[in-house]
């Protein structure tokens, strides 16, 4: 009986993979280095090989494979168009994995796949619609309504990290200036704190602890990040009216130190309407893997209907 799917969440540093049943229970899990230092061809081979390893483990129970990767992704064709950090261009992952495993395979964007999981089985359950914001080394996001994610016309919907919040502000890796990611990502919080204090290499999580301890420099940098995030969430609120915001990524581990002032700042920016509630992610770093499993089950079920 085909009762499991293989799911892979590929990141710039590590891969999280598992065998997952229909209810979202993880029956087996593997975490492995992505191996970007070995070059893009080796990374692609490693991903396809890990998918095969999972399918072999599942045996006759395997029904399909779901993958999510960073960068620009064409979900309709199953092609990873471009990933700066991983060095690939136009990799047909869905076809490669399907050929290798003999099973149907689906490819999607990592953050929007995490959005899907949070919407269906995580913090967004019951919200109707939700906007997910992942705050880590960068900032990305995605919108889901009734358990379905809107990828946008070019597969780039939800890139809230590149909403300009400070015109002519700090340079962003995308080539623009003043993007939310350039001010409020965990990496930039650390960098900006170092520039202010001369103490480099202090993590955003540590800075959050210093905020609680009352250190003025940490408080200043944190307040600037909160203001930028609130501006971006206010814009998203007015434009798409989400039922809730779900906050994930590494910075979400700051908990109330992040969520409470952000909720207050967001409410203060909205005049003719109330602010949507803010909820922390409930799926943590498994959200991408679980979302990839959900996409795989959707693919398996759609194929069954067609046949």
The CB density around residue 95, as the number of other CB atoms within 10 Å, is: 14
- What does residue 138 show for φ and ψ, rounded to 5 degrees? -125, -165
By C-alpha distance, which of 220, 225, 280, 278 is closest to 250? 280
Structure-token pair, residue 246: 């779900």
Whether 233 contacts 262, CB under 8 Å: yes
pLDDT above 70 (res 307): no
> 79-88, 125-134, 169-178, 204-213: lowest mean pLDDT where?
79-88
Q: What angle do CA 98, 6, 20 make, to 5 degrees?
A: 155
Whether 67 contacts 51, CB under 8 Å: yes
Sign of CA dihedral 53, 54, 55, 58: positive
Element (H, E) at 129: strand 129-135
Whether 51 contacts 10, CB under 8 Å: no
- Residue 54: half-sphere exposure toward Cβ, Cα within 13 Å: 36
Whether 141 contacts 133, CB under 8 Å: yes
Contacts of 24 (CB under 8 A, 6+ apart): 121, 290, 293, 294
CA dist 179 and 168 (Å) reads: 9
Strand pairing of 62-69 and 4-10? Answer: parallel
pLDDT above 70 (res 108): yes
Whether 127 contacts 244, CB under 8 Å: yes
Element (H, E) at 7: strand 4-10
Q: Please, is 62 exposed, middle or buried when counting C-beta atoms within 10 Å of its C-beta (0-12, 13-18, 19+)? A: buried
CA dist 127 and 44 (Å) reads: 37
Element (H, E) at 227: helix 216-240
- Tokens 């597969």, residue? 155
- What does residue 167 show for φ and ψ, rounded to 5 degrees? -55, 135
> 24-28, 75-79, 152-156, 282-286: lowest mean pLDDT where?
152-156
Q: For the segment 226-262, what is each residue's pLDDT rounded down to a tens digit?
A: 999 999 999 999 999 999 999 998 899 999 999 999 9
Q: For the segment 111-127, what is each residue's pLDDT rounded down to a tens digit?
A: 999 999 999 999 999 99
Whether 278 contacts 259, CB under 8 Å: yes
Question: Residue 306's pLDDT is what?
Answer: 61
Beta strands across the sheet bearing 4-10? 26-33, 14-20, 4-10, 62-69, 105-109
Instruction: Characterize 109-126 residue by residue with b for buried, 16 or more Cβ atoms within 10 angstroms of its Cβ, and e for exposed.
Output: bbbbbbbbbbbbbbbbee
Question: Residue 244's pLDDT is what?
Answer: 96
Question: Residue 18's pLDDT is what?
Answer: 97
DSSP reduced 3-state for 13: coil
- Tokens 């498994």, residue? 286
Whole-model pTM? 0.88
């Amino acid at each position: 009986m085909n009762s499991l799917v293989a799911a892979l969440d590929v990141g710039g540093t590590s891969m999280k993979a598992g065998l997952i049943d229909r209810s979202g229970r993880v029956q087996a899990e593997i975490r492995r280095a992505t191996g970007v230092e070995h070059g893009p061809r080796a990374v692609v081979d490693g991903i396809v090989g890990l998918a095969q390893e999972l399918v072999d483990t599942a045996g006759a129970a395997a029904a399909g494979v779901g993958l999510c990767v960073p960068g620009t992704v064409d979900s309709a064709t199953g092609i990873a168009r471009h990933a700066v950090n991983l060095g690939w261009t136009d990799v047909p992952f869905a076809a490669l994995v399907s050929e290798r495993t003999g099973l149907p395979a689906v490819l999607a964007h990592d953050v929007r796949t995490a959005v899907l999981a949070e919407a269906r089985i995580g913090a967004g359950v019951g919200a109707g619609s939700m906007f997910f914001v992942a705050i880590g080394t960068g900032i990305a996001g995605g919108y889901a309504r009734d358990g379905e994610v809107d990828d946008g016309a070019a597969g780039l919907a939800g890139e809230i990290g590149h909403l300009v919040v400070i015109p002519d502000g700090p340079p962003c890796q995308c080539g623009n200036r003043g993007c939310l990611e350039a001010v409020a990502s965990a990496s930039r919080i650390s960098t900006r704190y170092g520039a202010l204090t001369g103490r480099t290499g202090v993590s955003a999580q540590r800075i959050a602890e210093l905020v609680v301890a009352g250190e003025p420099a940490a408080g200043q940098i944190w307040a600037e990040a909160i203001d930028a995030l609130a501006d971006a969430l206010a814009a998203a609120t007015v434009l798409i009216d989400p039922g809730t915001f779900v906050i994930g990524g590494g910075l979400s581990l700051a908990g109330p130190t992040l969520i409470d002032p952000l909720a207050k700042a967001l409410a203060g920016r909205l005049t003719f309407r109330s602010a949507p509630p803010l909820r922390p992610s409930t799926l943590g770093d498994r959200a991408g893997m679980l979302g990839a499993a959900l996409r795989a089950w959707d693919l398996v079920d759609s194929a069954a209907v067609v046949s």
